[in-house]
Amino acid sequence: MTPTTTEATKTATERAAEGDRLHRIAARVTDPEIPVLTIADLGILRDVQQDGDGAVVVTITPTYSGCPAMDAIRQDLEHEFAVAGYGTVRVDLVLSPAWSTDWMTDAGKAKLEEYGIAPPTGTGHRGTVTLGLAVKCPHCHSLNTRELARFGSTSCKALYSCRDCLEPFDYFKVLS
């Protein structure tokens, strides 16, 4: 099955296989701000399909409105599909429903922690921290941490430090 085959001539099985292929191609694109995560890990990849004219339409939801990584992700998607032999690619940004950290995969959260970023937990743990919530250190796994700055290297992250191992780290904030 070549990318130029029209949608009308495909069987249901061929359409399903093509849909899987399109999703795998899009899912290879990494987040430019956190390169250990793919856009599928992050949960911003919403849909991939071909329209009736054979153009690939990728739907993504930014982690927050105005996220500067969207332009780079759009270019990376266009590049991946061009390399795979697809000519026309349209990337649609959908803001509703708003992205949530609940959309992140468990594998993505594990990759964050391995990379040294505390993943969102979805629930806070009240520890000895007097302000904010205790976040588990991705280095030593202690809850004896403190927030240094509400915004870290990106708006999605806050800057924390561990009182036990003394290492600074980013925390990927829970967004819903």
User: DSSP secondary structure string, 104-165?
Assistant: S-HHHHHHHHHHTEEPP-SS-B--S-SSS-B---TTT--S-EEEEESS-SSTTEEEEEETTT
pLDDT attached to residue 121:
78
Topology (CATH) of 7-99: GMP Synthetase; Chain A, domain 3 (3.30.300)
Question: What's the pLDDT tens digit per position in 7-37?
Answer: 556 688 877 888 899 999 999 999 999 999 9
Number of H helices, E strands in the chain: 4, 7
Which residue ranges does the chain devote to CATH 3.30.300.130? Answer: 7-99
For the chain, the farthest-separated pair of C-alpha atoms sits apart, in whole angstroms, at 64
Give which of 39, 43, 42, 17 is closest to 30, Cα–Cα. Answer: 39
pLDDT of res. 132: 53
pTM for the structure as a whole = 0.80
Question: Which residue in this structure is represented by tokens 């061009």?
Answer: 82
Residues in the chain predicted with pLDDT less than 50, given as ranges, are 1, 123-131
Partners of residue 134 on adjacent β-strands = 125
pLDDT at 144: 95
Question: 3-state class of 173 per DSSP?
Answer: coil
